[in-house]
């Protein structure tokens, strides 16, 4: 494995279309709208679309500037994800891994140089759980096991898996954080088993390895300290991952309300009842939903902007401030899922048909709330920080 990565990188990218120049975000979103049903049917976003996302700058958004990346301020990248999610939740979820290169910043700088040797547009995906025991080997580890929820793995250049046991870090500050081994994507078997109620297009299949060697310089602690001295890598990495997934639900809620508003002037309904615009519950319901969405979004972006200003000032983002990042992300994810469900209810019987986008918005939005970084446990941990007692799990 010592010399393997640079050779495998060339091989792993040969199935991408030739680079055709930059692509605007507007043009990317237009194609997402045209093809979102295709992604759902395929159960993943195909590599030609990932290549276009690269052209739009999605996967250099968190690449260090020293390697030619953009290292975008988190609030700006979250706005991009929100816009993509209005078009399609699964595509936005895959695009969210444009932030995952913040994790790779914890690798030795020499290892990162190999990863970015062919350019800054590198897609990193991972299936970290359940953690698998890795056996010590000469200068590294032998890795075997199967991991779940590797979103975007079919479009990845690099894949990380979670290992424990003999490989686990004993550093107290990294306690509870998964130790991660990185491989070129073409060295990892993808188990094609993603069959779910929502976010079908994310391609979050299982990963499998058998006695695969990884050199120690290709391992890191997820959420550990970055070795790149640029502002983005001083922003809390775990909180950022919660934010990028919550941003998907903000976009889905926006899409649901826009779709619902477009139904208001229907002159005929199935039962011959008054059009939606003439119903008091619809008018008050859509107004309350707008207020909920705009309020949750304001808290979400206010927290992100404040923490980014802290980073730019050269100060650390301490636990109370990082707590607001996690809390605002979780609040946005859950509030926006409720907004989508209420929009579905107000839309009437027509929303149950598979031809209606509203039912997919519901299915996608409820999946977002199930993410480990956005679950109900966040509220408990957040409350512990507010009252000054230790959270029961590593947080924030």
pLDDT digits 0-9 by tens, 267-276 = 556 666 788 8
User: Is the pLDDT assigned to residue 303 strictly greater than 50?
Assistant: yes
Measured distance CA(368)–CA(362) in Å, rounded: 10
pLDDT band at 4 (very low <50, low <70, confident <90, very high): very low
Predicted local distance difference test score (pLDDT) of residue 271: 65
Question: What average pLDDT score do residues 165-194 get?
Answer: 79
Measured distance CA(41)–CA(200) in Å, rounded: 8
Nearest by Cα to 151 from 68, 231, 67, 89: 89
Measured distance CA(290)–CA(328) in Å, rounded: 17
Nearest by Cα to 62 from 76, 75, 52, 72: 72
Q: pLDDT digit string (tens) for 224-262?
A: 899 999 999 999 999 999 999 999 999 999 999 999 999
Nearest by Cα to 101 from 23, 175, 199, 182: 182
**Across-strand partners of 191?**
206
Q: pLDDT digit string (tens) for 318-330?
A: 999 999 999 999 9
| Largest pairwise CA distance in the chain | 75
Question: What average pLDDT score do residues 198-216 get?
Answer: 98
CATH fold of 235-387: Butyryl-CoA Dehydrogenase, subunit A; domain 3 (1.20.140)
Length of the chain: 396
Tokens in use for 393? 């799990």
pTM reported for the whole predicted model: 0.92
For the chain, which residues make up each domain, given as ranges? 4-221, 235-387
pLDDT band at 1 (very low <50, low <70, confident <90, very high): very low
Predicted local distance difference test score (pLDDT) of residue 16: 52
In which element (H, E) is residue 142 found? Answer: strand 140-150
Predicted local distance difference test score (pLDDT) of residue 177: 76
Measured distance CA(367)–CA(333) in Å, rounded: 10
Predicted local distance difference test score (pLDDT) of residue 167: 45
Give 14's DSSP letter.
T
Tokens in use for 144? 């075997």
User: Is the pLDDT assigned to residue 27 strictly greater than 70?
Assistant: yes
Q: What percentage of the chain carries pLDDT values higher than 90? A: 85
Q: pLDDT digit string (tens) for 288-298?
A: 999 999 999 99
Secondary-structure class of domain 4-221 per CATH: mainly beta
Q: Average model confidence (pLDDT) for the chain?
A: 92
Reply yes or no: is the peptide bond before residue 396 cis, omega within 30 of 0: yes
Q: pLDDT digit string (tens) for 65-121?
A: 999 999 999 999 999 999 999 999 999 999 999 999 999 999 999 999 999 999 999
User: Is the pLDDT assigned to residue 18 strictly greater than 90?
Assistant: no
Counting beta carbons within 10 angstroms of the beta carbon of residue 65, is it exposed (0 to 12), middle (13 to 18) or buried (19 or more)? middle
CA torsion, points 104, 221, 96, 54, in degrees to nearest 10?
A: 20
Predicted local distance difference test score (pLDDT) of residue 273: 75
Predicted local distance difference test score (pLDDT) of residue 366: 98
Predicted local distance difference test score (pLDDT) of residue 223: 84
Residue 118 near residue 13, CB atoms below 8 Å: yes
């Amino acid at each position: 494995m010592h010399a393997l990565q640079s050779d495998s990188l060339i091989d792993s990218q040969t199935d991408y279309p030739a680079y055709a120049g930059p692509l605007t975000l507007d043009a990317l979103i237009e194609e997402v709208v045209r093809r979102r049903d295709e992604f759902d049917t395929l159960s993943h976003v195909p590599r030609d679309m990932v290549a276009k996302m690269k052209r739009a700058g999605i996967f250099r958004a968190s690449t260090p500037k020293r390697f030619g990346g953009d290292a975008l301020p988190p609030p700006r990248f979250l706005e991009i994800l929100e816009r993509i999610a209005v078009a399609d939740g699964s595509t936005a979820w895959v695009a969210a891994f444009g932030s995952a290169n913040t994790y790779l910043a914890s690798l030795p700088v020499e290892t990162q140089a190999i990863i970015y040797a062919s350019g800054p547009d590198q897609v990193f995906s991972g299936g970290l759980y359940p953690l698998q025991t890795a056996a010590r080997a000469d200068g590294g580890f032998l890795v075997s096991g199967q991991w779940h929820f590797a979103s975007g793995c079919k479009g990845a250049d690099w894949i990380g898996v979670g290992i424990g046991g003999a490989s686990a870090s004993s550093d107290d500050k990294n306690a509870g954080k998964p130790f991660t081994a990185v491989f070129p994507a073409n060295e990892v078997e993808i188990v094609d088993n993603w069959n779910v109620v929502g976010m079908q297009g994310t391609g979050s299949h299982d990963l499998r390895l058998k006695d695969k060697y990884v050199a120690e310089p290709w391992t890191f602690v997820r959420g550990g300290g970055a070795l790149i001295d640029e502002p983005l890598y001083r922003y809390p990495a775990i909180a950022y991952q919660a934010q990028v997934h919550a941003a998907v639900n903000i976009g889905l809620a926006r899409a649901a309300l826009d779709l619902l508003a477009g139904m208001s002037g229907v002159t005929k309904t199935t039962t011959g009842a008054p059009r939606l615009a003439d119903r008091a519950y619809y008018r008050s319901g859509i107004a309350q939903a707008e207020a909920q969405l705009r309020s949750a979004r304001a808290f979400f972006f206010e927290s992100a902007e404040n923490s980014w200003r802290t980073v730019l000032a050269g100060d650390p983002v301490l636990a109370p401030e990082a707590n607001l990042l996690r809390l605002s992300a979780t609040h946005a994810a859950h509030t926006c899922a409720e907004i989508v469900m209420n929009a579905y209810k107000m839309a009437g019987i027509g929303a149950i048909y598979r031809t209606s986008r509203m039912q997919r918005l519901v299915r996608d939005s409820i999946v977002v709330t199930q993410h480990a970084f956005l679950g109900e446990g966040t509220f408990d941990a957040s409350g512990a920080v507010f009252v000054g007692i230790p959270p029961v799990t590593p947080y924030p």
